[in-house]
Amino acid sequence: MRRKIAAGNWKMNGTLTQLEHLNVLAKRHPTPKVDIVVCPPNTLIAPATAQTGTTAIAIGAQDCHTATTGAHTGDTSAQMLSEAGASHVLVGHSERRCDHDETDRVVCGKAQAAIAQGLIAIICLGETLQQREAGSTLEVIADQLAASIPDIATGETAVIAYEPVWAIGTGLVATAAQIGEVHGFIRAQLIKRFGEDAGQRFRLLYGGSVKAGNADEIFAVADVDGALVGGASLNCDDFSPIITALENSSP
Annotated catalytic residues are 93, 163
For ligand PEP, which is the closer residue by CB, 145 or 194? 145
Angle between helices 236-248 and 212-219 (to 10 degrees): 20
**DSSP one-letter code for 235:** S
Give the C-alpha distances (Å, rounded to integers) separating 150 from 147, 169, 196. 8, 28, 18
CB of 192 to ligand PEP, least distance (A): 26
Nearer to ligand PEP, 40 or 231 (CB): 231
CA 56 to chain CA centroid, nearest Å: 17
Bridge partners of 6, per DSSP, are 36, 227
Strand partners, 158: 121
**Closest C-alpha to 33, from 5, 53, 1, 59:** 5
Nearer to ligand PEP, 93 or 194 (CB): 93
Helices (H) and strands (E) counted in the chain, each on its own, are 11, 8
Do residues 223 and 199 touch, judged by C-beta distance below 8 A? no
Residues that bind ligand PEP (CB under 6 A): 9, 11, 163, 168-169, 207-210, 228-232
